[in-house]
Structure 1
Amino acid sequence: MKFAAVIVLAALFACALAAPAPDVEILKSVSDVLPDKWSWDVATSDGTAVQGVGEAKSLGKDEDSIVVHGSYEWVDEKTGQHFKVTYVADENGFQPEGEHLPRV
């Protein structure tokens, strides 16, 4: 009996998560993919935007890496506050910056 209750609760939770999102339109969707370089630029009507450029990079003998420069931004639906993160992701890891993020 407990197993059936867990299944019912899991099903209800899945239904809640599958509820349709508010109508959001894609305003911009551009991408360019080449063998050693790629870019993307996406914006939606709810204030979300994602941009980036990536490229393959040679670090020396038989050692390659990928370098990505980009940003993403959104508007908090509860407070209306705008957030933006710019970043570099390379052989040194993911390095985000944003006014709302702590500086080290």
Structure 2
Amino acid sequence: MMKLTIAVVSCMLVSLASCQQPTTPIPIVRYENDGVNFDGSYKWAYETGNGIQAQETGYVQPAQDPSQSALNVEGGYSYTAPDGTPISLTYVAGPQGFVPVGSHLPTPPPLPPAIAKLLQFLATQPTTPEPIYPKKK
């Protein structure tokens, strides 16, 4: 039983070693890193030898209440997909959430005309205040 186990493990290691392709390290041709600074801001960017590029900047948006301050970020990256398609994405992130923009991202279908017309109509209507209910005694 022990010989069978050794034989099976040996075969698995040989097949695993034969499947792995040698990899060549990809150089980093540009690297910048500024921060995190005293005010919470930062900036970084890099580019690799195979054309991958990325960058990001961030800053803290102060508020009256220090526990309510928010980090605002802008950045992007680009690379070439395995099928040769150039991919480029930019983004902002902050209190409004993460908002990516890129031509490769899926987009929702257009609104049906009746819904678009209804939304336009509703935007022209005055807001209705919340009703005030009497306090229970």
With the shorter chain as reference, the TM-score category is 0.7 to 0.9
Q: Give the number of equivalent residue pairs.
A: 93
Gaps of 5+ in 2: 109-137
1:29 aligned residue (14, 21, 31): 31
Secondary structure (helix, strand or coil) at the match of 1:46 reads coil
- Aligned sequence identity (%): 27
Deviation at 1:19, TM superposition (A): 6.2
Quote the Cα distance in structure 1 between the aligned partners of 2:100 and 2:23: 28
Quote the Cα distance in structure 1 between the aligned partners of 2:22 and 2:73: 32
Secondary structure (helix, strand or coil) at the match of 1:88 reads strand
1:74 aligned residue (65, 72, 79): 79
Matched, 1:46 2:22: no
Amino acid at match of 1:66: L
Gaps of 5+ in 1: none
With 57-66 and 45-54 compared, the bigger mean Cα shift is at 57-66
- Radius of gyration: which is bigger? 2
Deviation at 1:20, TM superposition (A): 5.5
Aligned positions of 1:50-65 closer than 5 A:
50-61=54-65, 62-65=67-70
Greater fraction of residues in helix? 2
Q: Which has the higher contact order (CA 8 A, sep 6+)?
A: 1
> Root-mean-square deviation (CA), in Å?
2.7
Greater fraction of residues in strand? 1
1:95 aligned residue (93, 99, 120): 99
Quote the Cα distance in structure 2 between the aligned partners of 1:99 and 1:84: 8
Secondary structure (helix, strand or coil) at the match of 1:95 reads strand
